[in-house]
Amino acid sequence: MSERASERPRISIIIPTYNERDNLEGLFERVSRALSGAGYEFEIVVVDDNSPDRTWEYAEELGKTGGYPVKVIRRVNEKGLSSAVIRGFREASGDVFVVMDADLQHPPEKIPELLKAIDHGADIAIASRYVPGGGVENWYWYRKLISKGAIMIGRVALPKIRSVRDPVSGFFALRREVVEGAELNPIGFKILMEILIKGKYGKVVEVPFRFGLRKAGESKLSGKTMLNYLKHVYRLMKWEGELDRLIKFSIVGTSGIFVNEGFLWFFVSELGMDKYIANIPATELSILNNFTWNDLWTFKDLRRYPFWKRLFSFHVAALMGAFVQWIIYAPLVYLGINYLLANLVGIGASFVVRFLFNRNVTWG
Ligand code: UDP
Ligand code: MG
């Protein structure tokens, strides 16, 4: 047993703070109890952005009077949540890092469960709101909807994190090696997502938890949050090369229009085929054109399924796209919107559906 204890990792709890004075004592108390109780050696790294309420000063004071193993970093020239966490990683001396908020919305009693998952081989353990047993306290339905919608956007835009249910959680644990040497962007908005894209790791585990109510003070996150989040997802897509794919997919799609029109002309004008019928082989030929270029170019590195499966799946996507285009076109026309404009909106929606289906299924 003692042998087991001696090989236990040392833990650094990284806590970014801004005006959190009134939460600190309870936080330190509960963190210490949870970690000592589970037999871990730990330090608390508080990264404070020079809070007007002097959170940094109080953290130091509590370290002295309460005997908590606290290391305080007071940042004067830098701001921002992600950069605070990255700074914390740099200053932390532990083998395993835990990141959490100061306001007790992240129950410290969950930390040992996260650490257990790491002990059992996970590289990243996420306290997750969206696995069975997890949840949020007292959120209106629209706040839940926004949260889940944002996560869905992130998961479809970034296939690498597709299997993670709560990739934007602010409460997680990871082995030091995951972020050591990773090029994390300090203006990144959701640090966990940044880590999931750029970190070095194998296994990710999610542990359910209930996101509680803020104990004291107030939330610092504003309405700009959503826009910043979308910007962040966009930057990560770019980094992942997913944006290049999107561009290639559009180029191929455009080439398909020419193939379609060209063959339609050829069948009708040169071969004298019926106009209503000629449209069918012309469309099929453009689908084959698009498939070929997407297979050889756009998704070249993602050819995992057999050729026939990819070809079939690509046709399913085309069919779905056509259906989506029509289901948007028809009601818009019915509502009196110009039919060409309605069609354009339909084409846009079809494009998104086809790209996502092909990226996640055909070449998933
Ligand atoms: N925080 C920070 N710098 C900031 C914004 C927030 O250090 O610029 C800290 C804050 O003190 C808290 C955590 O990040 O410990 C989460 O912030 P908040 O509770 O305001 O976010 P919410 O839970 O409302 O999404
Ligand atoms: Mg909070």
How far is ligand 1, taken at its centre, from the CA of residue 298, in Å?
A: 40
- 169 Cβ inside 6 Å of ligand 1: no
Same domain? 209 vs 66: yes
Give the number of domains in the chain. Answer: 2
Enter the pTM of the model. 0.88
Q: Whose CA is nearest to atom 21 of ligand 1?
A: 219
On whether the CB atoms of residues 167 and 154 are closer than 8 A, the answer is: yes
Residue 279: Cβ-neighbour burial (10 angstroms; 0-12, 13-18, 19+): middle
Same domain? 71 vs 217: yes
DSSP state, 110? G
Residue with tokens 């353990």: 125
In our burial notation (b when 16+ CB lie closer than 10 A, e otherwise), range 150-188 reads bbeebbbbbbebeebbbbbbbbbbbbbebbeebebbbeb
Same domain? 115 vs 254: no
Same domain? 158 vs 38: yes
Same domain? 27 vs 167: yes
Same domain? 296 vs 225: no
Same domain? 165 vs 215: yes
Q: Whose CA is nearest to atom 9 of ligand 1?
A: 17
Taking the CA of residue 48 as reference, the ligand 1 atom at the shortest distance is: 7
How far is ligand 2, taken at its centre, from the CA of residue 208, in Å?
A: 18
Q: What is the pLDDT along the chain (364 residues), one digit of tens a residue?
A: 444 545 789 999 999 999 999 999 999 999 999 999 999 999 999 999 999 999 999 999 999 999 999 999 999 999 899 999 999 999 999 999 999 999 999 999 999 999 999 999 999 999 999 999 999 998 999 889 999 999 999 999 999 999 999 999 999 999 999 999 999 999 878 999 999 999 999 999 999 999 999 888 888 766 678 889 999 999 999 999 999 999 999 999 999 999 999 999 999 999 999 999 999 999 999 999 999 999 999 999 999 999 999 999 999 999 999 999 999 999 999 999 999 999 999 999 999 999 999 999 999 9
Report the candidate in 65, 21, 26, 63 with the shortest Cα–Cα distance to residue 43. Answer: 63
Query: CA-CA distances (angstroms) from residue 84 to 99, 100, 283?
Result: 11, 12, 54
Same domain? 261 vs 147: no
Last residue of a domain, one of 212, 239, 266: 239
Please tell me the predicted confidence (pLDDT) of residue 219. 83
Q: Whose CA is nearest to atom 23 of ligand 1?
A: 219
Last residue of a domain, one of 190, 207, 239: 239
Query: CA-CA distances (angstroms) from residue 316 to 189, 242, 313, 342, 362?
Result: 36, 22, 5, 23, 9
Same domain? 158 vs 252: no
CATH number at residue 200: 3.90.550.10
| Euclidean distance between CA atoms 59 and 75, whole angstroms | 14
Q: Which residues make up the environment of ion ligand 2, defined by Cβ < 5 Å? A: 101, 103, 105
| Euclidean distance between CA atoms 278 and 285, whole angstroms | 11
Same domain? 131 vs 276: no
Residue 314 belongs to what domain range? 242-362
Look up residue 41 and give its two tokens.
Answer: 């050696």
Last residue of a domain, one of 222, 239, 256: 239
Radius of gyration over alpha carbons of the chain, in Å? 26
Same domain? 47 vs 101: yes
How far is ligand 1, taken at its centre, from the CA of residue 20, in Å?
A: 9
In sequence order, what DSSP letters do the residues of 332-355 get, joined into one string?
Answer: HHHTT--HHHHHHHHHHHHHHHHH
Same domain? 8 vs 126: yes
